């Protein structure tokens, strides 16, 4: 399998090089030269299969023989040793709980797979890989835990000061070992800008081998396609329902892009709802075809506070820069903070189910779409991206009840935060990275 840049100015590469480079030298994002495809017969054979078996079938097509099948199978089994529940709320509404991994967030799917691929390829080349990551919350903690102890790797996490929840900050600043946290005086877009600049800095790259664990890395997206594919098959096998509409809480749009990839490979997916908060640049693009990113707005769904999402470049490429073509498969809906809070409350009152703010954005977007007459007869799957305990202050204030915090999160609150404070000036980041080998 060959991968090339969305900017088309870099040499095509293998999955190994796409993984270890993260961002293409021309600043573009890697995508498959030809999207792998499952025939109807292959899809039929996967109906009723376990999550790991579905994941292995997809991974084989994207990896293209660069990792021996038995080793790839071991990687899959070690990555996804937790459940992926599909919870039914009513006759046609489901929540896919993607927060059952070690950091209680959906980013565990991508981060654990990427960490093991990076470790495998780094060991092959006997080189030290520096993994550079911008995070608005859950990516950082998932990467910190995913790469913890992986040989030949070290992780540098950039997160916006004061703009992640306390539990998220504790997760990404207490891993220690080969994981280093940088607290940036700025917002997520500043963090992302600095990371992108590092990847195209020739002087920095002459001394370091940099890669990314953000969703700009194609090997972060490939495993996120697994849970779309599996849910579409499980829905039919267990409930007799087909071609669901997925409502996807969207910030940097990597999660949605992974779903589009699953649909493009042939899995039975009907439609997508890109559920954003007040950071609605993609929603507005879908309305009128103009992409006009605004400065990032802080909301209750902090992990989605992205003004200029990087994965939008992949989405535009997949749909030929045609917002009408994109709109045939993706509906954009922006949800306010007030709606988010009222949804958390109403879902608990109706179903006794507790949603975190991001999941609530996805649920409200699905409801609004159905109320407008769209997809009312289609089964709907809302992706639940984080355990509600990670946003305990908002949840308890909204529901006026205590939320049980899992022990793995409680233990983190007792640890001492370890982070280096830097400005949003790229020179501060470059100086820190150059000091790592000194």
Give the C-alpha separation, 313 to 26, whole Å: 13
Q: Is 107 a catalytic residue?
A: yes
- In 141-197, the DSSP E strands lie at 153-160, 179-185
Which residue from 378, 356, 346, 380 is spatially nearest to 366, judged by alpha carbons? Answer: 380
User: Distances in Å between the alpha carbon of 130 and those of 112, 204, 250, 433?
Assistant: 16, 12, 27, 9
Q: Are 19 and 211 in contact (CB under 8 A)?
A: yes
User: Distances in Å between the alpha carbon of 191 and those of 22, 28, 217, 424?
Assistant: 16, 17, 16, 7
Q: Residue 429 corresponds to which tokens in the numbers above?
A: 């980041």
DSSP reduced 3-state for 372 = coil
Q: Mention every residue, 6+ apart, whose C-beta is less than 8 A from residue 252.
A: 136, 192, 214, 215, 306, 309, 310, 311
* Strand partners of residue 380: 93, 245
DSSP reduced 3-state for 271 = strand
Helix and strand element counts for the chain (H, E): 19, 13
* Strand partners of residue 381: 94, 246
Secondary element (H or E) of residue 89: strand 86-90
Give the C-alpha separation, 320 to 329, whole Å: 13
Of residues 107, 163, 196, 263, which has the active-site annotation?
Answer: 107
Give the C-alpha separation, 198 to 430, whole Å: 7
Give the C-alpha separation, 169 to 24, whole Å: 29
Q: Strands across the sheet with 86-90, in order?
A: 86-90, 93-97, 380-384, 245-249, 271-276, 330-334
DSSP reduced 3-state for 219 = helix
Catalytic residues: 107
């Amino acid at each position: 399998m060959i991968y090339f840049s969305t900017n088309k100015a870099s040499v095509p590469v293998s999955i190994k090089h796409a993984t270890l480079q993260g961002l293409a030298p021309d600043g573009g994002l890697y995508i498959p030269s030809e999207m792998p495809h499952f025939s109807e017969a292959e899809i039929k054979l996967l109906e009723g299969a376990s999550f790991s078996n579905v994941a292995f079938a997809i991974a084989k097509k994207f990896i293209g023989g660069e990792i021996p099948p038995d080793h790839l199978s071991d990687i899959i089994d070690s990555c996804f040793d937790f459940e992926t529940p599909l919870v039914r709320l009513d006759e046609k509404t489901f929540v896919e709980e993607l927060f059952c991994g070690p950091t209680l967030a959906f980013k565990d799917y991508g981060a654990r797979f990427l960490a093991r691929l990076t470790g495998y390829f780094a060991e092959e080349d006997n080189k030290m890989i520096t993994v550079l990551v911008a995070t608005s919350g859950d990516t950082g903690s998932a990467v910190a835990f995913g790469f913890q102890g992986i040989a030949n790797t070290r992780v540098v996490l950039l997160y916006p000061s004061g703009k992640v929840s306390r539990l998220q900050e504790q997760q990404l600043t207490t891993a220690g070992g080969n994981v280093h946290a940088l607290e940036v005086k700025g917002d997520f877009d500043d963090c992302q800008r600095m990371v992108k600049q590092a990847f195209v800095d020739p002087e920095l790259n002459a001394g370091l081998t940099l890669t990314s664990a953000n969703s700009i890395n194609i090997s972060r997206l490939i495993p996120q396609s697994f849970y779309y594919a599996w849910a579409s098959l499980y829905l039919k096998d267990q409930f007799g329902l087909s071609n669901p509409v997925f409502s996807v809480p969207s910030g940097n749009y990597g999660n949605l892009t992974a779903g589009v990839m699953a649909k493009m490979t042939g899995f039975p997916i009907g439609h997508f709802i890109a559920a954003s908060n007040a950071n609605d640049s993609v929603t507005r693009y879908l309305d009128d075809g103009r992409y006009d990113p605004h400065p990032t707005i802080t909301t209750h769904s902090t992990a989605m506070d992205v003004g200029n999402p990087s994965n939008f470049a992949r989405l535009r490429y997949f749909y030929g820069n045609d917002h009408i073509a994109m709109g045939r498969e993706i509906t954009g809906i922006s949800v306010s903070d007030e709606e988010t809070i009222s949804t958390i409350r109403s879902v608990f009152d109706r179903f006794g189910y507790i949603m975190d703010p991001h999941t609530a954005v996805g649920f409200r977007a699905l409801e609004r779409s159905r109320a407008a007459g769209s997809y009312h007869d289609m089964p709907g799957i809302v992706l639940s991206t984080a355990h509600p305990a990670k946003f305990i202050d908002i949840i308890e204030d909204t529901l006026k009840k205590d939320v049980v915090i899992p022990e793995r999160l409680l233990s983190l609150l007792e640890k001492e935060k370890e982070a280096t404070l830097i400005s949003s000036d790229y020179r501060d980041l470059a100086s820190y990275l150059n000091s790592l080998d000194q």
